Every structure is written in structure tokens, then in C-alpha cells.
Amino acid sequence: MSAADDGANRSLGQLVAQATTELSALVHDEIALAKAELRQDARRLGIGGGAIAAAGVLALFSLPVLSFAAAYGIHSTGLGLAWSFLITGGAYLVIAAILGLLAIAKFKKIKKPEKSIASAKETAAVLGTVKPHPRPVADTSRTDASVTRSSV
């Protein structure tokens, strides 16, 4: 049995049900593709977010260290202890800057789900060109006496 014969033997309800099923499957496939593309970017987002959080924590930790360095610098009689605290505080700031740059690099690698967008546009283009099935033209020249027409 050919596909044309199969379509001719099915009722309108069966055709609508099949179209609904196929459209539903298409939407589910589009969503699955988008999820697969976004999963990879979510991992990059997590790494970048963790690096930003670590940079913020280290920058926050550098403030007490720098404060202690200033206090010990004033209190100490030699430069050795104060300079060591200043170097430690500076090292925290350098590490925070490196982590911040790492986070920015990870965020720049995040991309749009291009395959999903292209597939959705292609589907919309195909569905936009679909025309309804042509119906046979009814003979409107004769009027049926049993049909009452409303005057409204």
C-alpha cells in the first residue's frame, strides 16, 4: 500500500492525531537538542562562576592581611615583618586577579545554542510554507430549500 493510499483511507481525526503526534515529537527533539547544547555551556558557567567566587573570597581575605601588615608595620621596629605581610597581601591580590581573568576567559567561551536556533528556524520555515489540503469546490449555484438562512 502506498503512502498516498494510506492517507486517503484515514479519517480527518486520524490525520490530525498523527500531525499532533509528529509535531509533539518534533518539539521534544528540539528541546532535547537545546538541552544538550546548554549542558556544555552550563559547565563552563559553573567553572567561571567558581573562579569569580574564589577571586572575591581571596580579595576579601587580602583586606585583613593588608590591615595586619599595616599594623605590624607601624608596630615593628624593622621592615622585615611588615614587608612580609605586604608581600602576602599582594600575592593574594595577584591570585585574585589571575582567577578573575580565568573567569572572564571561561565566560567568553559560552556560546548560543546555534544548532537549536538553526533547527528551530528551519522548522518554522517549513511549517510556514505548508498549505492546507485542497478541498473540492462545492457547487454553490443551486440552493437547497431545506436550508434556512439567518437574517442576522
- Residue 1 confidence (pLDDT): 44
Residue 142 DSSP label: S
Cα–Cα distance, 139 to 117 (Å, whole number): 46
What is the CB-side half-sphere exposure of residue 105 using CA atoms within 13 A? 7
- Residue 99 confidence (pLDDT): 93
Q: Which whole number is the average pLDDT over 91-108?
A: 90
Kindly report, residue by residue over 22-74, the tens digit of the pLDDT: 888 888 888 888 888 888 788 888 898 999 999 999 988 888 877 777 667 65
| Residue type for position 128 | G
Please, which pLDDT band fits residue 12 given cuts at 50, 70 and 90?
Answer: confident
Q: Are 131 and 86 in contact (CB under 8 A)?
A: no
Is 130's pLDDT higher than 80?
A: no
**Per-residue cell: 99:** 582567577
